[in-house]
């Protein structure tokens, strides 16, 4: 890529320190970053539409004369004054309204002035109107020319106007147009697949020349999009394959076991392993026997028994003289793993240590010296495990629970904890069901295992959809269950509102339940509480002191309360199906018949109710994930919106699955031809080394 493209944004006109900061917020630090900051959509300012031909619901360009103008006063609203102007052209009338306006705008809207306006058209009281359109005065003798191309609309941030970012990116596009660009993909391959070259593809997306281009782009059917979708997926695939190759070259801890601990462990278990658990265990033992480190993803639905398999996998590692570590995303989940592992490992004479962010001072130092000593066999913790001060004695195996909550670079930080240049074996677990084809694309650096069977005795949870109007009878049912010894989760969701509003909604529900059920202990937990407070409240629920736990969606995956048999979810339509399925998995863990109740408001669309019907009908998390994926897209299902992992600039893992074979073939071709320069450029353009994909060890 040309040397200009790696220059900083400060070299561009109109970019001072403040704008530089704003661009940085969007991850735009070089001119190349700006090039890959692709438009969200396009606006057509190439033609003027007569008022009589306007279409409501679309942004359109018109030219009209001001007929009359007035300032109206309103009783309510953030602004008491409103500027209203009537405009006309030979074909009809249009009203424009400004709730906030300057004296300069007032001047422009003088009667008799001719204006060019661009904005959203709507119909109010049977007439066309625009609220806050963009407009400028026209000199009838010397009208400025119309735009030649469609106008791109870019993702932006607070305080950075669309016009400013467009002017900045336009400078980079001019540079691109004037320079020869080195190609990142093999030229023969591009020709065979009828894909455009880099320069013309980039120009097509930033400044489409024709309406047909925009229509193709809007429907994701433009050859330039195809080229960049394949290119981006290939870059991610290459990064993962390179990571895998570099891992395979590393020494791995040699695992030799006579199976003594394994036998004792199995004998002490109060249940038998399912066939699926035994199959996965055999796959893990096979990995330990290889001459390269294990890198395996283990998927299993809620309650399928992944933790037991992970614990069993630690035993041969410990027998071979190494330490094992298990990392989980929240203190509640870590505490639960710690209690389970202690109960399983102490009878085997093994020492387990738990480290959390909350551990401070003397207590923390004691734990650190234990972790560094030979007497500790197993360490459990949150991301506190990869802080610099944590030194392991001889780390040979890492288990990471709920993988999608940790970025790739966090996994690598833990891998670097070995003292002897060996790459520890790694098992990555998730209860978020990801369809196999997708999993194999996102985790191309990992082998894949799945526990696809629930332990015997797990009763299916009966799910029902109940309207808000039946809330009172639902509360009676809850009270009856609690008086018979049961416990209830009541989850309040307001996902797309602010966290404050979500907490307020939970608080309102909590107070009304307290008022209606004075004889029952009710507790509240939400995201704005400190973790120690949250933990204390959840513990009172776990030990049965609290009968009803009102919560926002902070009840983490993995909190076990066998006595809880009813899960009520308010506004379930605001959650993904997989998320509802995860929450539902909190009940049905004991002997009681269990229920999940989706409490819905009136007036939900048929489409939304059909979506919730999927949860009612299916118990299998993988089927639910497939259907959720079809309806909502990969970013939501994978939970990657928050972590930034697998966040793509143009590709969409759901819509673009048909390119996976092409991507496999291209990634392999680029590895085989060993065109290092092109591969490096590809990774820099789409993945960015900052993600730490390629630095291992």
Assigned domain for 54 exists: yes
Six token digits for residue 69: 């103008």
Average pLDDT over residues 208-237: 88
The string of pLDDT tens digits covering residues 597-646 is 999 988 888 888 999 999 999 988 888 877 877 776 554 444 433 333 44
| Judgement on whether residues 402 and 485 belong to the same structural domain of the protein | no
The string of pLDDT tens digits covering residues 164-193 is 999 999 999 999 888 877 888 999 999 998
Assigned domain for 522 exists: yes
Q: What is the pLDDT of residue 124?
A: 85
Per-residue pLDDT band for 501 (boundaries 50, 70, 90) equals: low
Contact 604, 634 (CB under 8 A): no
Q: Please report, for residues 203, 213, 214, 220, 663, the alpha-carbon distance to residue 223 in angstroms, rounded to integers and kept in the order given.
A: 12, 10, 12, 9, 16
| Judgement on whether residues 487 and 431 belong to the same structural domain of the protein | no
Boundary residue ending a domain (128, 161, 179)? 179
What is the residue-averaged pLDDT of the chain?
A: 86
Residue % of the chain over a pLDDT of 90? 46
Alpha carbon distance 411, 284 (integer Å): 19
* Alpha-carbon dihedral angle through residues 636, 639, 645, 651, given to the nearest 10 degrees: -20
DSSP, collapsed to helix, strand or coil, labels residue 385 as helix
Average pLDDT over residues 298-321: 92
Per-residue pLDDT band for 84 (boundaries 50, 70, 90) equals: very high
Boundary residue ending a domain (422, 451, 480)? 451
Q: What is the pLDDT of residue 697?
A: 32
Q: Is the pLDDT of residue 410 over 70?
A: no
| Judgement on whether residues 17 and 159 belong to the same structural domain of the protein | yes
| Judgement on whether residues 433 and 476 belong to the same structural domain of the protein | no
Q: Element (H or E) spanning 487, and its range?
A: strand 487-492
Instruction: For 579-694, list the strands marked E by DSSP.
Output: 595-600
| Judgement on whether residues 334 and 447 belong to the same structural domain of the protein | yes
DSSP annotation of 48 reads P
Q: Residue 312 belongs to a domain with what CATH number?
A: 3.40.50.300
Contact 190, 58 (CB under 8 A): no
Assigned domain for 426 exists: yes
Q: What is the pLDDT of residue 434?
A: 74
Q: In what order do the strands lie in the sheet with 462-467?
A: 462-467, 595-600, 564-570, 487-492, 548-551, 522-525
| Judgement on whether residues 284 and 236 belong to the same structural domain of the protein | no
Q: What angle do CA 598, 600, 602 make, to 5 degrees?
A: 160
| Judgement on whether residues 123 and 140 belong to the same structural domain of the protein | yes
Contact 505, 499 (CB under 8 A): no
* Alpha-carbon dihedral angle through residues 204, 208, 210, 211, given to the nearest 10 degrees: 120
Assigned domain for 653 exists: no
Q: Is the pLDDT of residue 7 over 90?
A: no
| Judgement on whether residues 215 and 239 belong to the same structural domain of the protein | yes
Assigned domain for 171 exists: yes
Assigned domain for 561 exists: yes
User: Where is average pLDDT lowest: 198-202, 313-317, 406-410?
Assistant: 406-410
Average pLDDT over residues 117-136: 91
Residue whose tokens read 């118990």: 619
Q: C-alpha 659: how far from its chain's center? A: 22
Per-residue pLDDT band for 549 (boundaries 50, 70, 90) equals: very high
Per-residue pLDDT band for 555 (boundaries 50, 70, 90) equals: low
Q: What is the pLDDT of residue 267?
A: 95
| Judgement on whether residues 447 and 467 belong to the same structural domain of the protein | no
What is the sign, positive or negative, of the torsion defined by CA atoms of 261, 267, 271, 275? positive
| Judgement on whether residues 442 and 553 belong to the same structural domain of the protein | no
Q: What is the pLDDT of residue 435?
A: 72
Assigned domain for 548 exists: yes
| Judgement on whether residues 307 and 265 belong to the same structural domain of the protein | yes
pTM above 0.85, yes or no: no
Q: Which residues constitute the domain of residue 67?
A: 47-146
Q: Residue 94 belongs to a domain with what CATH number?
A: 2.40.50.140
Assigned domain for 640 exists: no
| Judgement on whether residues 530 and 595 belong to the same structural domain of the protein | yes
The string of pLDDT tens digits covering residues 261-305 is 999 999 999 889 999 999 999 999 999 999 899 999 999 887 788
| Total of domains in the chain | 5
Boundary residue ending a domain (590, 618, 646)? 618
Q: What is the pLDDT of residue 205?
A: 93
Maximal C-alpha separation, the chain: 95
Six token digits for residue 679: 């591969």
Q: What is the pLDDT of residue 115?
A: 96
Alpha carbon distance 40, 18 (integer Å): 24
Alpha carbon distance 252, 395 (integer Å): 11
Contact 318, 468 (CB under 8 A): no
Q: What is the pLDDT of residue 644?
A: 36
Q: What is the pLDDT of residue 454?
A: 79
């Amino acid at each position: 890529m040309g040397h200009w493209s790696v220059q900083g944004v400060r070299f561009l006109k109109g970019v001072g320190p403040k704008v530089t900061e704003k661009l940085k917020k969007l991850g735009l630090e070089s001119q190349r970053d700006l090039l890959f900051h692709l438009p969200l959509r396009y606006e057509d300012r190439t033609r003027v539409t007569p008022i009589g031909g306007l279409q409501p619901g679309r942004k359109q360009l018109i030219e009209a004369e001001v007929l009359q103008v007035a300032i109206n006063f309103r009783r309510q609203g953030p602004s008491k004054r409103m500027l209203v102007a009537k405009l006309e052209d030979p074909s009809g009338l249009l009203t424009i309204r400004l709730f906030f306006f300057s004296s300069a705008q007032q001047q422009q809207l003088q009667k008799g002035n001719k204006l060019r306006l661009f904005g959203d058209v709507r119909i109010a009281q049977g007439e066309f109107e625009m609220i806050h359109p963009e407009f400028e005065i026209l000199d009838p003798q010397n009208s400025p020319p119309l735009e030649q191309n469609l106008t791109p609309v870019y993702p932006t941030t607070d305080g950075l106007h669309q016009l400013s970012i467009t002017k900045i990116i336009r400078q980079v596009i001019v540079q691109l147009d004037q320079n020869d660009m080195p190609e990142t993909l093999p030229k023969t391959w591009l020709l065979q697949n009828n894909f455009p070259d880099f320069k013309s593809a980039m120009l097509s997306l930033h400044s489409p020349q024709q309406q047909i281009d925009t229509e193709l782009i809007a429907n994701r059917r433009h050859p330039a999009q195809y080229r960049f979708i394949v290119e981006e997926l290939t870059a991610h695939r290459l990064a993962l394959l390179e990571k895998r190759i570099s891992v395979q070259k590393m020494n791995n801890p040699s695992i030799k076991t006579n199976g003594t601990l394994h036998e004792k462990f199995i004998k002490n278990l109060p249940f038998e392993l399912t066939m699926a658990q035994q199959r996965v265990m055999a796959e893990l033992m096979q990995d330990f026997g290889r001459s390269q480190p294990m890198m395996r993803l283990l998927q299993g639905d809620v309650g399928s028994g992944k933790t037991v398999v992970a614990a069993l996998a630690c035993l041969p590692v410990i027998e071979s003289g190494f330490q094992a570590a298990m990392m989980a995303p929240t203190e509640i989940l870590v505490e639960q793993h710690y209690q389970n592992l202690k109960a399983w490992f102490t009878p085997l004479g093994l020492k387990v240590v738990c480290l959390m962010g909350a551990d401070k001072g003397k207590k923390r130092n004691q734990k650190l010296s234990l972790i560094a000593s030979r007497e500790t066999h197993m360490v459990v913790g949150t991301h506190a495990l990869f802080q610099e001060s944590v030194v392991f004695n001889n780390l040979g195996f890492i288990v990471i629970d709920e993988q999608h909550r940790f970025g790739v670079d966090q996994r690598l930080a833990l891998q670097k904890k070995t003292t002897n240049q060996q790459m520890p074996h790694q098992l990555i677990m998730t209860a978020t069901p990801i369809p196999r084809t997708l999993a194999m694309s996102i985790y191309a650096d990992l082998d894949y295992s799945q526990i696809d069977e629930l332990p015997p005795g797990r009763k299916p949870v009966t799910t029902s959809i109940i309207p808000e109007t039946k809330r009172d009878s639902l509360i009676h049912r809850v009270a009856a269950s609690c008086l018979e010894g049961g416990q209830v989760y009541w989850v309040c969701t307001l996902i797309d509102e602010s966290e404050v509003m979500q907490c307020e909604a939970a608080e309102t529900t909590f107070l009304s339940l307290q008022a209606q059920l004075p004889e029952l202990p009710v507790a509240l937990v939400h995201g704005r509480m400190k973790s120690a407070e949250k933990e204390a409240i959840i513990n009172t629920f776990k030990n049965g002191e609290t009968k009803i736990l009102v919560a926002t969606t902070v009840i983490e995956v993995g909190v076990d309360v066998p006595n809880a048999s009813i899960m009520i979810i308010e506004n379930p339509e605001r959650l993904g199906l997989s998320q509802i399925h995860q929450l539902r998995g909190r009940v049905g863990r004991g002997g009681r018949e269990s229920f999940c109740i989706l409490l819905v408001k009136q007036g939900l669309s048929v489409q939304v109710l059909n979506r919730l019907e999927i949860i009612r009908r299916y118990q299998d998390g993988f089927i639910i994930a497939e259907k959720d994926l079809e309806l909502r897209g990969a970013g939501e299902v994978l939970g990657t919106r928050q972590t930034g992992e697998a966040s793509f600039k143009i590709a969409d893992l759901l819509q673009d699955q048909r390119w996976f074979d092409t991507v496999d073939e291209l990634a392999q071709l680029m590895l085989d031809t060993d065109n290092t320069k092109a591969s490096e450029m590809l990774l820099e353009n789409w993945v960015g080394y900052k993600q730490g994909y390629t630095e291992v060890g």
